[in-house]
Amino acid sequence: MIDAEWWLASGKPGEMLRAVWPAPSERKLRLFALACCRLIDHLVTDPRSRAALAFVAEHVETTPNRKKGRPTVERGAEIAYQEACGSSGGTMSYWSVDYGAMCAADAARKALRKNASVAASLTAEEVVRVVCWSERISQDRSSRSPLGTIEQSSREQSSRASQADLLREILGNPFHPVAIDPSWLWWNDATVPRLAQSIYGDQSWDSLGVLADALEDAGCAEDAILDHLRSPGPHVRGCWAVDLLLGKG
């Protein structure tokens, strides 16, 4: 049964995205794709791939599809991927040292896809592939034996569970929406929204506890918001509680 309890327990971001379709905004979907890519940031080494992710991040408040310069960035990301593939045609050996770079470049170009829903789902899947490869390589460089079905399944489940946490961070719980009392925003010369804007702009997620304290002083007794802001996270740009306070969708 797809409900609030299922949403909080799910470790399958693909199913979670399908369950709330078409509710997430383009902004939320692209922020999810970017959050997934940050899980493999150390492997996105090509400047053109990094430029693609930076382009999405820069224009995520509107849409990167209609921004000047997008075709150039898109071509660069595509070339970076093709060069990473080399002569393998995208069928590079799993044990190749370049396999992670190829998949990371693929994730970056997919984050640029015009359809935000497609960009989110395809990028997330590519990141799962990279994370599984990275963990396997780092733990057993000497072995070239194929991954066992159970072992591979466990790695994929762990990676998808991390993405599910990111999705909950960005979307909150769509099956149990939280309402904002306007008085919280007016309190003490708009202290709460000013704090939220500062945290959002600087991405200073370590200050979320301060925001929670201010909300409580303003009269907020909504555990869902307070507990989330005081939780260890993960917290990323698009945090549902901060977005709610700022009126961002």
- What is the mean pLDDT for each group of 10 consecutive residues in the chain (249 residues)? 93 95 92 97 96 97 88 96 78 75 95 96 95 77 50 83 98 94 97 98 96 98 97 96 96
Q: Residue 69's domain is classified under what CATH number?
A: 1.20.1590
160 lies in the same domain as 186:
no
Sign of the Cα torsion 191, 196, 197, 201 reads positive
38 lies in the same domain as 71:
yes
Domain that holds residue 206: 182-246
> How many whole angstroms separate alpha carbon 134 and alpha carbon 43?
9
Q: What is the pLDDT of residue 26?
A: 95
113 lies in the same domain as 27:
yes
Q: What is the pLDDT of residue 103?
A: 92
Q: Which helix (H) or strand (E) holds 42?
A: none
85 lies in the same domain as 134:
yes
> Within 13 Å and on the Cβ side, how many CA atoms surround 247?
5
Enumerate long-range contacts of 82-91, CB under 8 Å, 24 or more apart. Answer: 83/46, 84/46
Give CA separation, 4 vs 20, 174, 222, in Å.
Answer: 11, 8, 17
Is the peptide bond between 24 and the residue preceding it cis, with omega within 30 degrees of 0? no
Domain-embedded: residue 9: yes
> How many whole angstroms separate alpha carbon 60 and alpha carbon 116?
11
148 lies in the same domain as 193:
no
Q: What is the pLDDT of residue 150?
A: 47
